[in-house]
A and B are shown apart, each in its own frame.
Chain A
């Protein structure tokens, strides 16, 4: 039963433990009913915060689902990287959702999507500069203070880099965590996509992240788009199964971070729930191996 209401000071330990180090799935509207009706065996669920603001059917479904499953709220619209600061109204909407659903984890992105008051409906990359780092940390501080809890920040996938960037993205993310105390949501697919698009070393990216700060891992499928015939750009469309190369990188991530709550995301051409559960089961196999290894290490 999840109805117990934690006090602000008691939230931190409880929050982490309520999302198990197991493989969950992203819950999308298509699956509300089947989850309520069949209560599938899945250790935890994550939703996009922006889809559960206001009232009505969607939030009613989530209220019901929340009673049986640990929940994570994953935001896409707070725009922590906006130079004009974060939108108070949106932060308050997130606060309302956090109070209503009492999630085990709350996350957002190393990205921005608001400029001149317009919401740009995508996760846009920041120039990796000291100016952007200072600003991003201020916005994360503000958010954590307002929500009275730690949040996780996810590395984005990206399709462009700015010429004046002076800090590698992995160092930038590590610095955000170190300065603000926020956790890291390590999206392994995004690392792979960005590494391919920009010629980075994906393994070195993983190695540069502070292991103790990684509170969650995301896995998803991506698309390979050919532009002008031969040029290849990998697009993080969350529209297919996890690619073999990403599974391999996930194994390295688990080796480095230990058993961390892992999520299967699928947002384009969302398949039947069974397909998502099958992907989660594959992640669970890898998690299980790591947990066995950890148990042996403790025993020895």
Chain B
């Protein structure tokens, strides 16, 4: 007799890889075949994961229709089954999957909409963390400012899209066909900030320079290096705006050597 562990791996292969053989031989077949019994669990596996993805990607669901979405979700679940029982985390790879999915190629903007929706989902479920107390920054020696490395609010994502994913997303969720029809799909660069505010998740278009600056800070570059990535007269007011808006929840000070290395690598 195989061990419990071997049996569970065999059932996993049945549900995820549709390979019933190793599990079926251990299942009582009175009335129904073992494969039919395993199929009940596989249906639930497929259905629950498609449902989890639908909740995280509602605009993608509407854009492609329920039948296409469930088919794509089934293939995705087969290739990338979840690694955690917290299904709010499931789907980080779905935008990339859609980008590579030949059947979705006729909707070239779909992966961008999916990336935006993943950022929105992340914002919806990220932990609640108190914003940084600006007094702590004010207490610093100004000579240390360039060494400040902020910790971003966990609800924040920065998305760069080649299509107006934000406009498509809003129009699709509002079921506003007129707005959807009016969107110019010409390729561009759309630089978006996604975050959870008191009233809900907000998606804001930033100009390229402002986006690069906050992207540098959110990704953990110290302030001195971030200013090199995105220099400009407006950075001081941008930084103040981010702090007031509570986009940082903490900071630390990096070693002084770090910014000069970053300076050489920048530009």
For residue A60, give the distance in angstroms from its CB to the closest CB of chain B. Answer: 8
Contact B85 A84, beta carbon cutoff 8 Å: no
Known: A83-B3, A83-B8, A112-B8. A121 touches B26 (CB 8 A): no
User: Chain A interface residue count: which class?
Assistant: 35 or more
| Binary B-proximity of A44-73 (CB < 8 A = 1, otherwise 0) | 000000100111110110000000000000
Residue A79 CB within 8 A of the other chain:
yes
- Near A by CB (< 8 A), chain B positions 1-44 give 1, 3-5, 7-9, 11-12, 15-16, 26-28, 30-32, 34, 36-38, 40-41, 44
Residues on B with beta carbons closer than 8 Å to the beta carbon of A162: 7, 26-28
Q: Is the CB of A118 within 8 A of B86?
A: no
* B87 lies within 8 A of A121 (CB): yes
> Once bound together, how far apart are the Cα atoms of A231 and B28, in whole Å?
15
Q: A89-B84, A90-B86, A164-B26 are in contact. Are A115 and B9 (CB under 8 A)?
A: yes
A54 touches B127 (CB 8 A): yes
Contacting residues of chain B (206-232) with chain A, CB-CB under 8 angstroms: none
Stretch at the interface among A128-136, A171-179, A245-253: A128-136
Q: Check if B128 sits within 8 Å of A118, measured CB to CB.
A: no
Find chain B residues with CB under 8 A from A87 CB: 84-85
Report whether A119 and B26 are in contact in the complex, using a CB–CB cutoff of 8 Å: no
Q: Please, how many angstroms separate the alpha-carbon atoms of A235 and B8 in the complex?
A: 22
Please tell me if A143 contacts chain B, counting CB pairs below 8 Å. Answer: no
Which B residues are in CB contact (< 8 Å) with A119?
81-85, 87
A87–B4 CA distance with the chains assembled, in angstroms: 17
A114 to B32, CA, bound (A): 25
Known pairs A124-B11, A231-B31; A163 contacts B26 (CB<8 A): yes
Q: Using Cβ atoms and an 8 Å threshold, which residues of chain A touch B34?
A: 160
Give complex CA distance A78, B86 in Å: 10
Chain B neighbourhood of A53, CB < 8 A: 86, 88, 125
Complex: A247 Cα to B241 Cα, angstroms: 60
In the complex, the answer to whether B41 meets A79 with C-beta atoms within 8 Å is no
Contact assessment for A127 and B4 in the assembled complex, using a CB-CB cutoff below 8 Å: yes
Chain A positions 105-144 with a Cβ under 8 Å from a chain B Cβ: 112-122, 124, 126-127, 129, 131-132, 135
Residues from chain A with a CB closer than 8 A to the CB of B30 are 199
Using CB atoms, name the residue of chain A closest to B90: A119
* Assembly CA distance A161 to B37 (angstroms): 9
How far is the CB of A122 from the nearest CB of chain B, in Å?
4
B51 CB to nearest chain A CB (Å)? 9
Do B125 and A55 touch (CB < 8 A)? yes
Residue numbers in B under 8 Å from A54 (CB-CB): 86, 88, 125-127
Task: Name the CB-closest residue of A to B6.
Answer: A83
Cα-based distance from A63 to B174 in the complex (angstroms): 29
Question: A76-B85, A121-B48 are known contacts. Are A55 and B37 too (CB-CB below 8 A)?
Answer: no
Q: Does A15 contact B (CB under 8 A)?
A: no
A161 to B128: give the CA distance in the assembly, Å. 44
Residue of A nearest to B42 (CB): A122
Cβ of B27 and Cβ of A160 under 8 Å apart?
yes
The yes or no answer to A272 lying at the interface (CB within 8 A) is no
A82 partner, pick from B8, B27, B41, B196, beta carbons under 8 A: B8
Q: Are A124 and B128 in touch, CB under 8 angstroms? A: no
Residues of B in contact with A (beta carbons under 8 Å apart): 1, 3-5, 7-9, 11-12, 15-16, 26-28, 30-32, 34, 36-38, 40-41, 44-45, 48-49, 52, 81-88, 123-129, 155, 196, 200
Instruction: Given contacts A50-B87, A56-B126, list 9 more A-B pairs with CB under 8 A.
Output: A77-B85, A118-B83, A121-B52, A127-B26, A160-B40, A161-B27, A162-B26, A162-B28, A233-B32
Listed A/B pairs (27) with beta-carbon separation below 8 Å? A50-B87, A53-B88, A54-B86, A55-B128, A56-B123, A56-B125, A76-B85, A77-B85, A90-B86, A115-B9, A116-B12, A119-B82, A120-B12, A121-B44, A121-B45, A122-B45, A124-B8, A124-B41, A127-B4, A131-B3, A132-B4, A160-B37, A161-B27, A162-B26, A227-B36, A233-B40, A235-B40
Chain A residues proximal to chain B, CB less than 8 Å: 50, 53-57, 59-60, 76-79, 82-84, 87, 89-90, 93, 112-122, 124, 126-127, 129, 131-132, 135, 159-164, 199, 227-228, 231, 233, 235
